[in-house]
Amino acid sequence: MDYQVEKAGAELSPSQIAAQLACANVLTVFIHLIDENRSLELVDLFSEDGVMEAVPHAFNGRKQIREFLASRAGGAPTRRTVHVLSNSAFRHVSDREVHCTSVMTVFAYDASQSAANLIPDSLCKLEDRFVKDPDGVWRFGHHRRSFIVQNG
């Protein structure tokens, strides 16, 4: 993302604050749905033509995203995750588009065992483009996850 250093401390307009909070909420709900094993519900967080990219794979539109998520459902029934999102930087492109980069730490564990000594499973970079749908709801237009470090 092209960081606009000169604007980093500039006050946001009320509509920019509302947009940024809505986009941050989409990210938070996304992470909670994954951690709660409700990943099929993620589809509704994307625009109709949204893209979910898990490098090196990309899924275009809700139909492909849904098919991908359904193919993974139930694959590892005792695998649990905790995702920690940090370092989010937002850039307002327009009143209908916001970009965000974040760092995400992923902890994974087997639910049948103790989670007392969790260590990070991976460290990821998220690059998101949010779009405001005609119904006034912010959604992912493009969600891209790439690994910075991956254990195992």
Judge whether 87 lies within some domain.
Answer: yes
pLDDT at position 152 over 80: no
| pLDDT tens digits for range 125-146 | 999 999 999 999 999 999 999 9
Per-residue pLDDT, 143: 98
Judge whether 101 lies within some domain.
Answer: yes
Judge whether 34 lies within some domain.
Answer: yes
Judge whether 37 lies within some domain.
Answer: yes
> Rounded distance, CA 110 to CA 100, Å?
31
Per-residue pLDDT, 1: 61
Judge whether 7 lies within some domain.
Answer: no
Judge whether 5 lies within some domain.
Answer: no
- CA-angle at 87, arms to 123 and 15, nearest 5°: 135
| pLDDT tens digits for range 1-44 | 666 666 778 889 999 999 999 999 999 999 999 999 899 999 99
The whole domain housing 142 covers 13-150
> Is residue 23 a contact partner of residue 128, using CB atoms and an 8 Å limit?
yes
Number of domains in the chain: 1
Judge whether 3 lies within some domain.
Answer: no
Percentage of residues in the chain having pLDDT higher than 70? 91
Judge whether 4 lies within some domain.
Answer: no
* 3-state class (DSSP) for residue 81: strand
